[in-house]
């Protein structure tokens, strides 16, 4: 699949051979392992190349929720998150990724909920650095008596719950997000 003239593919995601659509995920049924992970990354790139960065981010969320071993052919997409947040254009809808991941982290349920919660907080921190002008959902923080975690808390939890090498991948994403 080739990008349109003004959209470069994300260097941190695989490039699909053709434009993908939601049905590409249906082939996996309820299975959320390496094959789904790879398809979600391909679909995220396809959405990015079609000009839908917010939808691409949603696919990266889904990829990070997979049951993985750390032996997959592709790393967790923290760098891709940072790159997409830094590379979208003002005319492309991105929403407020900071609020998105705040809400995702504080409402997580289902399989691997604790790990998925801390991955959401990790992406939240990337969004805070990449797009510092975006506000949190202060009302949610106040009314639900929530506190945003520190980088050290996120790092500790990813180290405790995540895959081998996950913290290093996240730190790479943080560095990319904070770059001038």
Q: Is residue 8 part of a domain?
A: no
Give me the percent of the chain exceeding a pLDDT of 90: 93
Q: Does 5 fall in a domain? A: no
* Domain of residue 163, residue span: 23-178
Give the N- to C-terminal CA distance of the chain in Å, as an integer. 30
- Would residue 9 count as lying in a domain? no
The answer to whether residue 17 is domain-embedded is: no
Q: Is residue 14 part of a domain?
A: no
d(CA 1, CA 92): 20
Long-range contacts of 69-72 (CB under 8 A, 24+ apart): 69/34, 69/163, 70/163, 70/164, 70/165, 70/166, 72/34, 72/37, 72/38
Using a 10 angstrom Cβ sphere, with 0-12 exposed, 13-18 middle and 19 or more buried, the burial of residue 136 is middle
pTM for the model: 0.94
Q: Is 90 inside a domain boundary?
A: yes
DSSP of 18-40, one letter per residue? S---THHHHTTTT--SHHHHHHH
Alpha carbons within 13 A on the beta-carbon side of 140: 14
What mean pLDDT comes out for the span 147-169? Answer: 97
Q: pLDDT digits over 131-155, tens only?
A: 999 999 999 999 999 999 999 999 9
**Which tens digit of pLDDT belongs to each residue from 112-135?**
999 999 999 999 999 999 999 999
DSSP 13: S
User: What average pLDDT is seen over the chain?
Assistant: 94
Judge whether 168 lies within some domain: yes
| Structural domains of the chain, count | 1
Please count the other Cβ atoms lying within 10 Å of the Cβ belonging to residue 96: 16
Question: Is the residue at 13 inside a domain?
Answer: no
**Structure confidence at residue 7 (pLDDT):** 85
Q: Kindly tell me if the per-residue pLDDT of 94 is higher than 60.
A: yes
């Amino acid at each position: 699949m080739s990008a349109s003239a003004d959209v470069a593919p994300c260097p941190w995601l695989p490039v699909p051979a053709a434009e993908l659509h939601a049905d590409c995920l249906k082939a996996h049924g309820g299975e959320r392992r390496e094959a789904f992970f790879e398809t979600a990354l391909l679909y995220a790139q396809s959405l990015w190349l079609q000009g839908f960065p917010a939808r691409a981010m949603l696919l990266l969320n889904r990829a990070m929720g997979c049951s993985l071993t750390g032996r997959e052919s592709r790393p967790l997409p923290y760098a891709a998150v940072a790159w997409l947040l830094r590379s979208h254009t003002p005319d492309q809808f991105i929403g407020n990724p900071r609020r998105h991941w705040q809400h995702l982290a504080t409402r997580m349920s289902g399989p691997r909920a604790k790990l998925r919660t801390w991955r959401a907080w990790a992406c939240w921190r990337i969004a805070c650095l990449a797009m510092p002008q975006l506000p949190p959902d202060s009302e949610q923080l106040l009314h639900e008596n929530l506190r945003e975690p520190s980088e050290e808390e996120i790092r500790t939890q990813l180290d405790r719950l995540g895959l081998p090498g996950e913290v290093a991948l996240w730190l790479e994403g943080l560095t990319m997000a904070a770059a001038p």
